[in-house]
Amino acid sequence: MNLPNLITLLRVILVPVVFWLLITGQTELAFILFIVAGISDAVDGYLAKTFGWQTELGAYLDPLADKLLLVSIFLALGVDGKLPLWLVVAVVSRDILIVAAVMLSWVLGNPVRIRPLIVSKANTVAQIVLAGTVLADEGFGLGLGWPRFVLVWLTGILTFASLAAYLLSWLRHMSGNESPDARG
């Protein structure tokens, strides 16, 4: 256990707090903690890389913390009608399908190593920007209807594109037809 991993664990602890704040209508504070989580993500990454404090635990825990926070925010905003349910279902289903594919490959004795694809990185950025925009708009009444609309559709398109890219890569791997240039 080192400082970056401790910071990441604190970010995991923020997940139920942010979720509770959202379902109880305290969007301003949820937005502030979302920003704090983003800053802590940058800080733990900087510390790990600068001081060589990268660990296997951190390699798994950091993206898990980010994903838990985003999924919980999307779920809370979807249930409250602040995000379209089709998008929430798409975002959550994408993650479940990717995890299921990885687990299935392990069970079948053909483990796959997940490499972040460019479309997946773009999808994550879109999800973060959308979550932050909706939280800020709802919390502070900014009137961001048009940007929200565009971000919802951009995030939806990138979510489906990312899922398709991962599943295509997984199918190639499982069939033994994976080529080196098929990566991200």
For every one of its 184 residues, what pLDDT tens digit does the chain have, with 9 covering 90 and above? 899 999 999 999 999 999 999 999 999 999 999 999 999 999 999 999 999 999 999 988 999 999 999 999 999 999 999 999 999 999 999 999 999 999 999 999 999 887 889 999 999 999 999 999 999 999 999 999 999 999 999 999 999 999 999 999 999 999 988 654 444 3
**Chain centroid to CA 111: how far?**
22
**Chain centroid to CA 146: how far?**
23
Which candidate, 144, 127, 11, 7, places its Cα nearest to that of 73? 127
SS3 percent helix, strand, coil of the chain, rounded to 5, is 80, 0, 20
Q: What is the pLDDT of residue 183?
A: 41
Per the structure block, which two tokens stand in for 16?
């139920």
Q: What is the pLDDT of residue 160?
A: 98
CA distance 118 to 140: 33
Contact indicator for 117, 162 with CB cutoff of 8 Å? yes
- In degrees, rounded to 5, the angle at the alpha carbon of residue 76 between the alpha carbons of residues 74 and 81 is 90
Contact indicator for 91, 159 with CB cutoff of 8 Å? yes
CA distance 110 to 124: 27
Contact indicator for 141, 83 with CB cutoff of 8 Å? no
